[in-house]
Structure 1
Amino acid sequence: MSDSRARKASQAVLLASADDTEASFYEAMQRADLDRMMGVWADDDEIACVHPSGPRVVGPVAVRAGFEAIFVNGPVQVSIHQVRRLESGTAAVHHVIERVQAESPEGTQTAYILATNVYMRTALGWRMVLHHASPGQPHDMQEVAEPATMLH
């Protein structure tokens, strides 16, 4: 077994559920830990990531490069709120609101991100296959339970 596969196999116990994988994803963000970040992703050429206002990047090399560019600035102080889950035996979709805080000369700045995280159960445990994040607003923290009359 290769070192990479052995490392992923040892993480499978830690990633026993989509929730475990999600927690590990956000912990990697908060630590700017690129290896841990890539450990939550499926080993598949079709994984994809969309950062807020960014392009869709596809494949492990592109996903890694995207997070590497983010982590150049250090850890990302992010917390998730209003997690909603749609799950089956082999797939899970979590839509969340991310609250991101960063220090600037003006003080602490807060941004809200609307994110969808998709996970699949693999032979090595639950792995992320998609993270899609869009810019949000503070009012997004207020949840609307019924659909509006306008569709996109």
Structure 2
Amino acid sequence: MHKSKLQAAHLEGDADDIEAAFYDALQRGDIEKLMACWADEDEIVCIHPGGPRVVGATAIRATFGAMFAEGGAVRAWPEQVRKIVSVASCVHNLVERVEVLTAGGPTNAWVIATNVYHRTAQGWRLVAHHASPGTTSDIQEVSDAPSVLH
């Protein structure tokens, strides 16, 4: 299923703008706005935590549509973002905080996600979203950069 040129025209800006629109659409359960963030390419790919590789706009739309039908929206927020930026592509690695409803009420879960953006004729667009289940320790980061300067 292709996006209309009108939808694409509403998402100008950089990869950060597309990422903000993607997470806003997730939180609102808005499938049209969410799909407008994706590139109009046959090989776009999405992997949900613990799920299979989903390829193509029609399949991606179906997976998010099913999620929205179950709960109406996905309450997820990027908490930590690492970025690699080049002229025509951008990779964001994120720790997402996801609000999950449990028998005891809402609680936070963590997801480690990588979003890949390409600059297309319509502007920056998402070409891959890969999310993996995280743990409570995922809010901390292991890095080779020293935490204290001497």
Q: TM-score, normalised by structure 2?
A: 0.91
Asked if residue 145 in structure 1 is aligned to residue 143 in structure 2, the reply is yes
- Residue aligning to 1:71: 68
Asked if residue 7 in structure 1 is aligned to residue 21 in structure 2, the reply is no
Asked if residue 25 in structure 1 is aligned to residue 22 in structure 2, the reply is yes
Aligned residues, how many?
143
Answer yes or no: is the 8 Å Cα contact 2:3–2:36 preserved in 1: no
Moved >3 Å (runs of 4+): none
Given the alignment, which residue of 109, 112, 115 partners 1:111?
A: 109
The CA deviation at 1:110 is: 1.7
Q: TM-score, normalised by structure 1?
A: 0.89
Q: Which amino acid aligns with 2:88?
A: T
Q: What are the superposed Cα offsets for residues 75-95 of structure 1, whole Å, 9 maximum, x if unpaired?
A: 111111110000101000000
Residues 145, 27 of structure 1: CA spacing in aligned structure 2 closer, same or farther, 3 A cutoff? Answer: same
- Residue aligning to 2:57: 60
- Residue aligning to 1:150: none
User: 1 CA distance for matches of 2:84 and 2:64?
Assistant: 26
Name structure 2 gaps, 5 residues minimum: 146-150
Q: What are the superposed Cα offsets for residues 41-87 of structure 1, whole Å, 9 maximum, x if unpaired?
A: 00000000000000000000001001001111111111111100001
Q: Which amino acid aligns with 2:143?
A: A
Answer yes or no: is the 8 Å Cα contact 2:3–2:40 preserved in 1: no
Q: Which amino acid aligns with 2:101?
A: E
How much identity, in percent, do the aligned residues show?
48
Secondary structure, in 3 states, of the residue corresponding to 1:112?
A: strand
Secondary structure, in 3 states, of the residue corresponding to 1:113?
A: strand
